[in-house]
Chain A
Amino acid sequence: MSEAPILEVAKLSVAFRSRGRAVTALRDVSFAIEAGKTLALVGESGSGKSVTSLALLGLLPPNGKVTSGRASYRARSGDSLDLAGLSQRDFRKIRGSEIAMIFQEPMSSLNPLYSIGDQIGEMLDLHENLDGATRRRRVIEMLEMVEIPAAASRLGNYPHEMSGGMRQRVMIALALVCAPQLLIADEPTTALDVTVQAQILDLMRRLQRDMGMSILFITHDMGVVAEMADDVAVMYAGAVVEAASVKTLFANPAHPYTRGLLASIPRPGRPEGERLKAIPGQVPPLTALPRGCAFAPRCDLALTACEEPVSLETVAAGHRAACIRASEVMADA
């Protein structure tokens, strides 16, 4: 890609103030999303994936604050905006129109009091000034794009009349009706049945192709990553521990945590009777992170040197990892 990335996050740190103490939730998170591509942000619960997405849209709760770093977003106008230092007023202008977000819970992310036609129409009202007929046409077009059958006749339907998959389609329609450049999808398929999950992922891929948007896909599901993403950033305890293209990451993980994640999912061709490998221990609480590598206490390759701080280093072309033994891990695979 010759074009500059649509979003470039550089050393972003976020802290939460809790009972007078500052707890660092994100430490020097860096990644970039190329225009029209999908970056998957992978990690366990509490690894900071969702905090990252909320910070990018200025939706952190009042006790959360971006403490350092930049998030350069290339707006449609060509201007570069730093999302780390935007005012709420400016955020409101770009939310929905430039960057949109969909959430995990399609069941509760729609207001039960309004019909889906009204809710999508409201989005248009927020960002564009349209007359009634055009507005209606755009809503129907959008519902057709997310493959809701008989779209025109479903405008008056309420969320409770629809299934989870249908609601997530409506949610996607809501997010995309103003044609944002970047879609942040926070585990959009986690709450859905596996078959519906596949349909929604298909739909998102097709919409991405048709509309040319970029996606920041947040998930903990490596299977979904393989299917959706172009690039991956693996997060652990509030920091990115490995970033690479999907192919590289799956073929040749450089961080023991990534390797552990990949080993813990079932794959076809696995010898019968072989147990899946689990990563021992659990994520340390953000209030009690070790000084050095946060994964070291759970890592079977840990050395005394791992007690020193470690940063994300390039281990191969387009492949970065935060592990002093990355070359050994890669050679091992």
Chain B
Amino acid sequence: MTAAASTSEDPGLWKTLTARPAVLVALVVFGAILAAAILAPWIAPADPARMSVRARLSPPLGDYIFGADAFGRDVLSRLLFAGRVSLSIGLGVAVLSTALGIVIGLAAGFFRRLDAPLSRLIDAMMAFPDILLAIALVAILGGSAANVVLALSIVYTPRIARIVRAATLVIRELPYVEAARALGSSNLSIMVWHVLPNIVSPITVQATFIFAYAMLAEAGLSFLGVGVDPSIPTWGTMVNEGRQYIDQALYLILFPGIAISLAVLSLQLIGDGLRDALDPRLAKDV
């Protein structure tokens, strides 16, 4: 046997990912949304909180490109600033639920004694409809942005934990893990050194999806009025506020609605692309 297998150059994750047009478009769209949100303070045409009685419900393509809301606030500026909050919440949930999920999943997969109780807990949490559990948690914790992140992280942690547990159960039994144990590796070093690197791919993919779900759930919570404080613009609160004027000013829910859809759709496509690119079994022309 020689090193022939490795002579064909690995095309690299980025190349594989961008080879698919849908994923490439999604990356561009999401990149644009992200850039717009980050640059909001510099590119927003107006102060998102400044009200004007005269501009009340003025339609798009007039003085205000995306129109003005019921308080005469510039919709475009609000959209840009709301994006910062919505994306931050999505990212926060993705990061926090991944961290929690890794810890719980590793513990359940590694220590047989913890497996049954932790797995039942995960099952029980997954049996609840996401949005109901989130509403209940926000109701208990109170409606700040941080609490919404916490509540949604708790809701999505089981998804990561399940994947991590399943992968850990498989990897734990691999010969090289047994060999490592026979040569003195501790449980912790086996987890960090052998198990974690093996599950980076499925976790990354799932975290991307959770990012999208969390943004959608945040919008849902805000729309239902149990999300973040209404004074903080998020895409969800914008839809909620616009709902009352749906017969006079459809654009009030149209633009934040489009923003949510584009962000979630592009993230989902990126997640799909990542899954395909990271899974060697789905890799084409190898």
Contacts and interface: CB of A to CB of B under 8 A. Distances in A.
B56 interface: no
A108 B175 contact: yes
Given A59-B178, A161-B3, A113 B183 contact: no
B198 A113 contact: yes
A174 B112 contact: no
A80 interface: no
Contacts of A178: 184
Contacts of B185: 96, 122, 126
B182 A100 contact: yes
B2 interface: yes
A135 to B, nearest CB: 16
A236 interface: no
Contact of A101 (B6, B174, B176, B182): B182
Interface in A31-50: none
A322 interface: no
Interface in B1-41: 1-3, 5-6
B189 A126 contact: yes
Given A105-B175, A108-B175, A161-B3, A174 B194 contact: no
B193 interface: yes
Contact of B194 (A96, A105, A111): A111
B180 A111 contact: yes
B186 to A, nearest CB: 6
Contacts of A161: 3, 5-6
Nearest to B1: A163
Contacts of B174: 108
Question: 9 tightest CB-CB pairs across the interface, nearest first?
Answer: A96-B184, A95-B184, A96-B183, A101-B182, A108-B175, A109-B179, A161-B3, A163-B1, A111-B176
A126 B175 contact: no
A95 B180 CA distance: 10
B176 A109 contact: yes
Given A161-B6, A174-B183, A103 B175 contact: yes
Contacts of B178: 59, 103, 109
B182 A95 contact: yes
Interface of A: 57, 59, 62, 92-97, 100-103, 105, 108-113, 122-123, 126-127, 158, 160-164, 171, 174-175, 178, 184
Contact of A108 (B2, B3, B176): B176
Contacts of A101: 179, 182-183
Contacts of B181: 59, 95
Contacts of B184: 92-97, 123, 126-127, 178
A101 B112 CA distance: 25
B51 to A, nearest CB: 57
B197 interface: yes
A62 B173 CA distance: 13
A123 B183 contact: yes
A158 to B, nearest CB: 8
Interface of B: 1-3, 5-6, 112, 174-176, 178-186, 189, 193-194, 197-198
Nearest to A126: B184
Given A96-B183, A126-B189, A110 B176 contact: yes
Given A160-B5, A164-B1, A178-B184, 12 more contacts: A93-B184, A96-B182, A101-B182, A110-B176, A111-B176, A112-B176, A113-B198, A122-B185, A126-B183, A126-B185, A127-B184, A163-B1
A169 to B, nearest CB: 14
Contacts of B175: 103, 105, 108-109
Contacts of A174: 179, 183
Nearest to A118: B193
Nearest to B183: A96
Contacts of A163: 1-2
A103 B193 contact: no
Contact of B112 (A59, A62, A103, A111): A62
Nearest to B197: A113
A170 B239 CA distance: 62
Contacts of B194: 111
A44 to B, nearest CB: 22
B176 A95 contact: no
Contacts of B179: 101-103, 109-110, 171, 174
A110 B184 CA distance: 14
A95 B179 CA distance: 10
B183 A100 contact: yes
A59 B112 CA distance: 15
Nearest to B180: A111
Contacts of B182: 57, 59, 95-96, 100-101, 103, 184
29 contacts: A59-B178, A59-B181, A59-B182, A92-B184, A93-B184, A95-B183, A95-B184, A96-B182, A96-B184, A96-B185, A97-B184, A101-B183, A103-B179, A108-B174, A108-B175, A109-B176, A109-B178, A110-B176, A111-B176, A122-B189, A126-B183, A126-B185, A126-B186, A160-B6, A161-B3, A161-B5, A161-B6, A174-B179, A174-B183
A174 B238 CA distance: 61
With most chain A CB atoms within 10 A of its CB, the pick from B5, B181, B198 is B181
A108 B179 CA distance: 9
